[in-house]
Chains A and B, each alone.
Chain A
Amino acid sequence: MTSKDLILRRIRAALGDTAVPDVPRDYRRAGAGKPDIERLVDRLVDYKAVVHRGSDIAGIVASLEPGRLVVPPGLDPAWLPPGVGTVEDEHDADAVLTAATVAIAETGTIVLDGSPDQGRRVISLLPDLHICVVRPDQVVAAVPDAIARLDPRRPLTWISGPSATSDIELNRVEGVHGPRRLHVILTDR
Chain B
Amino acid sequence: MSTFLGMPATAPRGVGHLRGDESFPEAARKALGNEQLRRNLAHATTTIRGKSGAVVAELPDWQELRSAGSALKAATMARLPELLEQLEANVTAAGGVVHWAADATEANRIVTGLVEATGHRRVIKVKSMATQEIGLNEALEAAGIAPVETDLAELIVQLGHDKPSHILVPAIHRNRTEIRDIFLREMPGVDPALTDDPATLAAAARRYLRETFLSTKVAVSGANFAVAETGTLAVLESEGNGRMCLTLPDTLITVMGIEKVVPTWRDLEVFLQLLPRASTGERMNPYTSMWTGVTPGDGPQEFHLVLLDNGRTAVLADEVGRQALHCIRCSACLNVCPVYERTGGHAYGSVYPGPIGAVLSPQLTGVADNASLPYASSLCGACFDACPVKIDIPSILVHLRNEAPHPRTERIAMAAAAYTMDRPALYARAQHAAKLSRHATRLPPPLNGWTASRDLPQPPPETFRDWWAAR
Contact B284 A158 (CB under 8 A): yes
Q: Is the CB of B78 within 8 A of A160?
A: no
Q: Which residues of A contact B280 (CB under 8 A)?
A: 166
A34 CB to nearest B CB, Å: 15
B314 at the interface (CB under 8 A from A): yes
The CA-CA distance from A128 to B226 in the complex, in Å, is: 30
Task: Report the bound CA distance from A164 to B238 in whole Å.
Answer: 6
Q: Given the interface contacts A6-B5, A10-B309, does A165 sit within 8 Å of B289 by beta carbon?
A: no
- A22 and B270 contacting across the interface, CB-CB below 8 Å: no
Is A109 among interface residues, defined by CB-CB distance under 8 A? yes
Q: A7-B313, A10-B9, A108-B283 are in contact. Are A177 and B150 (CB under 8 A)?
A: yes
Interface locus among A63-71, A74-82, A93-101, A148-156: A148-156
Are B298's CB and A15's CB within 8 A?
no
Q: Are B84 and A8 in contact (CB under 8 A)?
A: yes
Any chain B CB within 8 A of the CB of A45? Answer: no
Q: Is the CB of A10 within 8 A of B7?
A: yes
Known contacts A171-B198, A178-B240; is-contact A7 B258 (Cβ 8 Å): yes
By a CB distance below 8 angstroms, the chain B residues around A155 are 289-292, 295, 298-299
Q: Which residues of B contact A3 (CB under 8 A)?
A: 100-102, 106
231-249 of chain B: CB within 8 A of chain A: 232, 238-241, 243-244, 247-248
Complex CA distance for A154 and B238, rounded to whole angstroms: 21
Q: Is A38 at the interface (CB under 8 A from chain B)?
A: no
Inter-chain contacts of B5 with A (CB < 8 A): 1, 6, 9
Q: Are the CB atoms of A169 and B40 closer together than 8 Å?
A: yes
- List residues of B (150-182) whose CB comes within 8 Å of A's CBs: 150-153, 156, 169-172, 175-176, 179
Indicate which residue in B79, B102, B282, B295 contacts A6 across the interface (CB closer than 8 Å): B102
Binds A, one of B202-210, B381-389, B436-444: B202-210
Interface residue count for B (Cβ, 8 Å)?
Answer: 97
Residues on B with beta carbons closer than 8 Å to the beta carbon of A13:
6-8, 313, 317
What B residues does A6 contact at CB under 8 A? 5-6, 100, 102
Asked if B299 and A121 sit within 8 Å, CB to CB, the answer is yes
Residue of B nearest to A23 (CB): B71
CB distance from A28 to the nearest CB of B (A): 5
**B81 and A12 contacting across the interface, CB-CB below 8 Å:** yes
CB of A167 within 8 A of CB of B297, answer no
CB contact under 8 A between A11 and B313, given known A2-B100, A3-B100, A43-B283: yes
Chain B 404-419 interface 0/1 with A at a Cβ cutoff of 8 Å (1 = within): 0000000000000000
Which residues of A lie under 8 Å from residue B243 when comparing CB positions? 121, 125, 157, 177-178
CA distance A2 to B5 in the complex (A): 11
Proximity string of chain A (6-33) to chain B, C-beta cutoff 8 Å, 1 when within and 0 when not:
1111111111001111111111111000
Contact of A165 among B88, B239, B298, B299 (CB under 8 A): B239
Q: Report if B75 contacts A (CB, 8 A).
A: yes
A177 touches B239 (CB 8 A): yes
Give the complex CA separation of A156 and B292 in angstroms.
9
* Nearest chain A residue, comparing its CB with the CB of B272: A143
Q: A156-B289, A166-B238, A178-B243 are in contact. List 18 more A-B contacts (CB 8 A).
A: A8-B85, A13-B317, A18-B78, A20-B75, A22-B71, A107-B284, A122-B247, A122-B299, A147-B269, A152-B292, A153-B232, A160-B282, A160-B283, A163-B240, A163-B287, A164-B239, A169-B176, A170-B43
Task: Give 10 A-B contacts (CB < 8 Å), ordered by A residue.
Answer: A3-B101, A8-B84, A10-B9, A24-B67, A27-B273, A109-B283, A160-B283, A161-B286, A165-B152, A177-B244
Instruction: Please report A residues at the B interface, Cβ cutoff 8 Å.
Output: 1-15, 18-30, 43, 47, 91, 104, 106-109, 114, 120-122, 125, 142-144, 147-148, 152-171, 173, 175-179
The 4 closest A-B pairs by CB, nearest first: A178-B240, A9-B6, A177-B240, A14-B317
